[in-house]
């Protein structure tokens, strides 16, 4: 599971089940093609504070993102590259997601979270 | 809408060569592609209507701003084979010649100038020319235009086409006579006139230059037969590409499929440059553990397979994510925000692909102990078509960006209308395109656009059609099991009378069973059972009925003994006689 997916997930059947806490068992850093257009589009769709919260909990990417989205983010290649790395190049292979409301656990196996 | 230039004189126009399948999708796809490419496409409404009505034609006049627009359009179209810039037209060869002579030199010289290479080809529809006839036609062009370039048949700079469109016989007319006068058509450069066609639209000749070719190669490239990983119901590559076009998938967008399976829809969306996210309730399919190819092809099946490898096979970036999740509206695991630019999906409707919703009370109600949850496989159940639609609309209203499209396939046994769809406030129906599946049902590709709340409020004033209810009547396709006849409800004498008349040995109770057995053989088909197995089935039925009759009657044992005696009696008599003869013979010796 990549962090881009994590930023969209919430605990099913809850009101405040977002963002889910991540318990990492194994994590991989993969390489992905950088597509600035796509990342810039994603900025509008992301819940940035939730992403910062998640990033702070993962040691590999901690502190790589600025606390605020820059004004002209579409031209800010450095920011887009950092965001690209966080969103698409960090893969949580094994672990679990924990609902902040009910403390329910959703396992992640082979990179696929089970949201049931 | 800009008027379409009819003939040379008002400037060249473009002729679009569509493929002759997916008839109901062709125009919609063309318009959607123009939308994506941002080109100003105009189609003569009358001609479009003719094309839809007749569904025979493959040529369509279109107006576009320039050649760059054609290139942008054909970079997306899957159902367009090619686009030509038409220089001259005519109702006969003579008219075409006259028309070619009128082409302004300033326009044609750059393509015929020295140092360029070219070739000329003949494309004919509704009539076949032999290679000799084609060469004769091409040679006739020699004196008409200042050809200065060099002929090159492979990869020339410019390709010119002579296009001949012979309209086909209308369905209600008499059958066309064979093209006997083939040589006449060389002499007069006019195909053999057809008896019944005289009243129909006339033959058209065009001369033009090839300016764009559609993405037909993409259909071959994504062909399921060559795909690394497919399931039993993977979506046809061509349809998936058309759906991605109808969804206006663009580069840099995020596309979601809530019932992704082996990711057929997502591969097509990714082929047009989008990043994708998929969800499915069946975990093995996401992990690439599906084993569907059996028989000899099992040998050729790759050891390594999976959705990620399918994307790698096509050189596409891997999906942004895969989720093991139920897409029901009460279990939606995506936060409510405009996350996706398009949702393209082929949901499991229970016709070929069964489970669609989770039906696991212990898991849902969180009664499952933590220890057991690890390897727990959730119980799934068949969801009704209508339920899936409600879920899908709820998802689209929750997660689709304004202006984004929801494209899905819907099987119906009824003619499609908006009233078939469950209530949807924030989605506007854009179109539905039919693909005939069998005599009694069709599959529709439904395109809906997510609109703003204001738009929805404005539209609320319009009288909404009431929801019809059941979209898909399973009974129409699979006859439901008839109720067992209630023997007690009928006068036993009447029952006996009926049986005697039919000379049917079955007792009344067996009737229903026989009927049920016959229905079971029909199950799953929408046509009567083949004659081949009918006799065997009847024999089995009769045997079953006999057995039943024997055990049901009071003197079952006696009757059976009697039957044994009747069958074995003659044999015993013969044996006894033989023995007596043998004894006599020995005694006399």
**CA closest to B273 among chain A residues:** A38
Residues of A in contact with B400 (CB under 8 A): none
B59, containing H or E segment: strand B59-63
CB contact under 8 A, B323 and A111: no
Please give the share of chain A, as a percent, with pLDDT higher than 90. Answer: 61
Indicate the length of chain A as a whole number: 116
Give the confidence band of B367 by pLDDT, cuts at 50, 70, 90.
low
Q: CA B49 → CA B31, B43, B54, B180, B551, distances in Å? A: 14, 10, 8, 33, 69
CA–CA distance, B570 with B584 (Å, rounded to integer): 21
CB contact under 8 A, A38 and B322: no
Residues of A in contact with B331 (CB under 8 A): 12-13, 115-116
pLDDT for B121 equals: 93
B320, B364, B402, best to mutate vs chain A, most A CBs in 10 Å: B320
**Residues A76-87: tens digit of each pLDDT:** 899 999 999 999
CB contact under 8 A, B286 and A112: yes
Residue B280 tokens read as 């499915």
CA–CA distance, B290 with B297 (Å, rounded to integer): 14
**ipTM for the whole complex:** 0.94
Residues of A in contact with B373 (CB under 8 A): 105, 107
Give the confidence band of B118 by pLDDT, cuts at 50, 70, 90.
very high
pLDDT for B488 equals: 52
CB contact under 8 A, A12 and B333: yes
**CA closest to A33 among chain B residues:** B317
**Residues B181-192: tens digit of each pLDDT:** 333 333 344 444
**Residues A27-43: tens digit of each pLDDT:** 999 999 899 999 999 99
CA–CA distance, A95 with A114 (Å, rounded to integer): 11
Q: Is the pLDDT of residue B476 over 90?
A: no
pLDDT for B364 equals: 67
**Among the listed residues B3, B41, B8, the one whose alpha carbon sits nearest the alpha carbon of residue B209:** B8
CB contact under 8 A, A114 and B287: no
CA–CA distance, B162 with B138 (Å, rounded to integer): 8
CA–CA distance, A24 with B392 (Å, rounded to integer): 32
pLDDT for A21 equals: 93
Q: Is the pLDDT of residue B171 over 80?
A: no
CA distance A36 to chain B (A): 8
| Model confidence, pTM | 0.76
Cα-Cα-Cα-Cα torsion B184, B189, B192, B196, nearest 10 degrees, comes to -150
Q: Which of A5, A42, A47 sits opposite B321 (nearest CB)?
A: A5
CA distance A22 to chain B (A): 15
């Amino acid at each position: 599971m990549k962090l881009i997916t994590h930023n969209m997930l919430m605990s099913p059947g809850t009101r405040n089940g977002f963002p889910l806490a991540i318990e990492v068992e194994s994590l991989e850093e993969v390489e992905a093609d950088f597509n600035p257009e796509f990342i810039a589009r994603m900025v509008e769709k992301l819940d940035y504070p939730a992403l910062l919260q998640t990033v702070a909990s993962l040691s590999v990417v901690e502190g790589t993102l600025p606390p605020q989205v820059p004004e002209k983010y579409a031209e800010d290649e450095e920011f887009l590259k950092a965001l690209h790395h966080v969103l698409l190049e960090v893969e949580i292979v094994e672990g679990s997601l924990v609902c902040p409301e009910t403390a329910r656990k959703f396992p992640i196996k082979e990179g696929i979270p089970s949201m049931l | 809408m800009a008027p379409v230039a009819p003939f040379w004189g008002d400037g060249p126009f473009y002729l679009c060569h569509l493929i002759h399948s997916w008839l109901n999708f062709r125009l919609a796809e063309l318009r959607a592609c123009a939308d994506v490419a941002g080109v100003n496409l105009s189609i003569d409404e009358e001609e479009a209507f003719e094309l839809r009505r007749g569904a025979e034609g493959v040529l369509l006049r279109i107006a576009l701003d320039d050649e760059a627009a054609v290139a942008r359009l054909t970079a997306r179209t899957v159902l367009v084979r090619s686009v030509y810039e038409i220089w001259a037209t005519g109702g006969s060869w003579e008219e075409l010649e006259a028309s070619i002579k009128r082409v302004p030199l300033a326009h044609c010289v750059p393509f015929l100038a020295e140092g360029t290479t070219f070739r000329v080809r003949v494309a004919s529809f509704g009539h076949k020319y032999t290679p000799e006839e084609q060469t004769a036609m091409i040679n006739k062009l020699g004196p008409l235009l200042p050809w200065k370039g060099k002929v090159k048949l492979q990869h020339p700079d410019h390709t010119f086409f002579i296009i001949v469109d012979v309209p086909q016989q209308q369905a209600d007319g008499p059958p066309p006579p064979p093209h006997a006068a083939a040589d006449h058509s060389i002499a007069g450069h006019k195909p053999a006139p057809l008896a019944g066609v005289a009243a129909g639209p006339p033959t058209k000749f065009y001369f033009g230059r090839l300016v764009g070719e559609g993405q037909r190669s993409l259909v071959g490239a994504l062909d399921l037969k060559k795909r690394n990983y497919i399931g039993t119901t993977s979506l046809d590559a061509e349809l998936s590409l058309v759906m991605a076009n109808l969804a206006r998938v663009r580069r840099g967008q995020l596309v979601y499929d809530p019932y992704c399976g082996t990711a057929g829809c997502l591969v097509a969306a990714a082929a047009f440059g989008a990043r994708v996210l998929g969800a499915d309730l069946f975990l093995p399919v996401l992990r690439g553990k599906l084993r569907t190819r059996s028989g000899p092809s099992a040998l050729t099946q790759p050891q390594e397979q999976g959705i990620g490898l399918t994307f790698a096979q096509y050189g596409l970036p891997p999906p942004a994510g895969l989720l093991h999740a139920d897409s029901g509206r009460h279990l939606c695991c995506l936060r409510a925000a405009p996350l996706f630019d398009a949702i393209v999906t082929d949901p499991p409707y229970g016709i070929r692909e069964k489970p669609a919703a989770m039906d696991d009370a212990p898991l849902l109600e969180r009664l499952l102990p933590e220890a057991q949850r690890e390897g727990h496989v959730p119980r799934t159940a068949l969801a009704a078509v209508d339920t899936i639609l409600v879920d899908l609309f709820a998802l689209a209203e929750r997660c689709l960006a304004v202006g984004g499209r929801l494209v899905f396939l819907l099987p119906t046994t009824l003619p499609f209308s908006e009233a078939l769809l469950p209530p949807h406030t924030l989605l506007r129906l854009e179109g539905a395109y039919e693909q005939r599946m069998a005599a009694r049902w069709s599959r529709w590709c439904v395109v809906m656009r997510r609109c703003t709340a204001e738009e929805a409020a404005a539209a609320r004033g319009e009288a909404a059609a009431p929801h019809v209810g059941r979209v898909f009547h399973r009974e129409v396709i699979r006859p439901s099991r008839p109720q067992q006849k209630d023997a007690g409800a009928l006068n036993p004498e009447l029952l006996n009378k009926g049986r005697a008349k039919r000379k049917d040995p079955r007792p009344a109770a067996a009737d229903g069973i026989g009927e049920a057995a016959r229905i079971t053989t029909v199950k799953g088909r929408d046509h009567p059972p083949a004659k081949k197995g009918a006799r065997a089935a009847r024999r089995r039925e009769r045997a079953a009925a006999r057995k039943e009759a024997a055990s049901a009657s009071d003197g079952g044992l006696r009757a059976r003994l009697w039957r044994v005696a009747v069958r074995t009696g003659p044999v015993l008599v013969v044996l006894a006689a033989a023995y007596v003869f043998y004894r006599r013979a020995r005694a006399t010796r």
